[in-house]
Amino acid sequence: MERRAVKSASRTLEVLELFSERRRPLRLNEVYTVLGYPQSSATNLLKSMVMLGYLNYNRATRTYLPTIRVSSLGNWLTGFIHSQSRYRLLVDELQRQTDETVGLVTQNDLFIQYVMMRVPAHEYKMPPNEGTMRLILDSSSGIALLSQISDREIDKICRYTNYYQLSSGGRFNIEDVMHEVKWARHTGYCYAPNRPTEEVSSIAFPLNEHLQGIPVAIGVGGMADRISREKATIVATIRRLIGEFKDHTGPFADLPDDSFLDDPDPATSRE
């Protein structure tokens, strides 16, 4: 069975993403041509978004443009995440000391999502955008997060991922997944060479912390040859910085403790 998004919700978000890509007013025919929608469906959708206040329609130019209401939906979230000085400094320090792309990652159901990114100034990089999602079974950060949960939960994630046909590369084999997870448990991190493409590799550690009840990992990625060459140094640097992060020493010594923003166990907090 293939999991599909509800069509109306999917199309609404695709329209907004199209505006994000084009960054200019768009005519109706541009929207339905690029997105491949029937003209009547696109017309009804855009008019509905106008009535709800999420699109502006200019009758003189016959163009649509998102309103400020769209940006207000999520602008609090970036500020909330970035306001947590411990995480921000950890990402900044790790990027400075490795000179590679660094990402703070959270679990999102069967996926991981990049919530904070720092990229180097040099050209040897292929960073994902903040907000990008990848299958948890197919990323170093995902394996790092899976190493912190039970084998039963991992098996369930694997079965759901296969059931909904979420991977374009075919089914995941639970034995292969568990081999990676067990090695990550043994070493304390996951090294994913040449993944998701041949050009890049990454190294990720679980932070054993929760951001509002959501598990968090941190990873370093970059061009495969650079990561392979500096692997031992990168691993040592991440391990040392996480230790200082936990102990409030080194660059984290004078930071206020904002861990009260985290909920380590949402289940017990509801009791």
- Any idea where the domains of the chain sit in the sequence? 7-66, 75-269
Give SS3 for 171. coil
The reported pLDDT for the residue numbered 33 is: 93
pLDDT at 74: 66
Q: How confident is the model at residue 270 (pLDDT cuts 50, 70, 90)?
A: very low
pLDDT of residue 76: 62
More confident position, 109 or 256 = 109
How many other CB atoms sit within 10 Å of the CB of residue 113? 20
Asked if residue 79 has pLDDT above 90, the reply is no
Contact 204, 219 (CB under 8 A): yes
Q: In which element (H, E) is residue 61 found? A: none
Q: Is the pLDDT of residue 49 over 80?
A: yes
As a whole number, mean pLDDT of residues 110-130 equals 93
Confidence of residue 39 (pLDDT cuts 50, 70, 90): very high
Selecting from 3.30.450.40, 3.40.50.300, 3.40.50.720, 3.60.15.10, what CATH number does the domain 75-269 have?
3.30.450.40
Residues of the chain by 3-state class (helix, strand, coil), percent to 5: 50, 20, 30
Q: Which tens digit of pLDDT belongs to each residue from 195-218?
A: 989 999 999 999 998 877 789 999
Residue 269 has pLDDT above 50, yes or no: no
Q: Give pLDDT tens digits for 53-65.
A: 889 988 889 999 9
H helices within the chain, ranges in order?
7-22, 28-35, 39-51, 68-82, 85-98, 140-146, 151-163, 174-187, 224-229, 231-247, 266-269
Give the CATH fold of the 7-66 domain.
Arc Repressor Mutant, subunit A (1.10.10)
Are domains 7-66 and 75-269 of this chain identical in fold? no
Burial class of residue 183 in the structure, from the number of CB atoms within 10 Å of its CB (0-12 exposed, 13-18 middle, 19+ buried): middle
Q: Give me the chain's average pLDDT, please.
A: 88
Q: Kindly list the distances between the CA atom of residue 56 and the CA atoms of 32, 61, 70, in Å, as whole numbers in the listed order.
A: 17, 12, 11
Does the pLDDT value for residue 75 go beyond 80? no
